[in-house]
Amino acid sequence: MTAAAEQFGTNLRATVATTVPNFVHGMVVPITMLFKYTKEHYRLETGAIIVGTICIVLAFASLFALEETFHKDLDYFEEFM
């Protein structure tokens, strides 16, 4: 949650910090459906390994796609026209 909130400016951090856990909770349903599918076509252990591997690969791909914010000015401001 902290890593996700740090990717945004100060005006959006609270929104991101409350939205990210909801996305994580929402992913339980597709992951469970994928596990049920793999469990029916493979054994229980193999299905768990397949789903776990997919989740970990997606997590690492997302991690490497993150932009570094170390020297970036995150004090954004909005201009109204």
pLDDT-derived band at 40 (thresholds 50, 70, 90) equals very high
Within-domain flag for 81: no
The pTM (predicted TM-score) of the whole model is 0.69
Q: What is the DSSP string of 11-79?
A: TTHHHHHHHHHHHHHHTHHHHHHHHHHHHHHS-HHHHHHHHHHHHHHHHHHHHHHSPP-TT--------
Q: Domain count for the chain, please give it.
A: 1
Q: Give CA–CA dist 34/36, Å, rounded.
A: 5
pLDDT-derived band at 18 (thresholds 50, 70, 90) equals confident
CB 19 within 8 A of CB 32: no
Within-domain flag for 35: yes
Within-domain flag for 77: no
Within-domain flag for 18: yes
Range of the domain at 36: 2-65
Within-domain flag for 75: no
Within-domain flag for 80: no
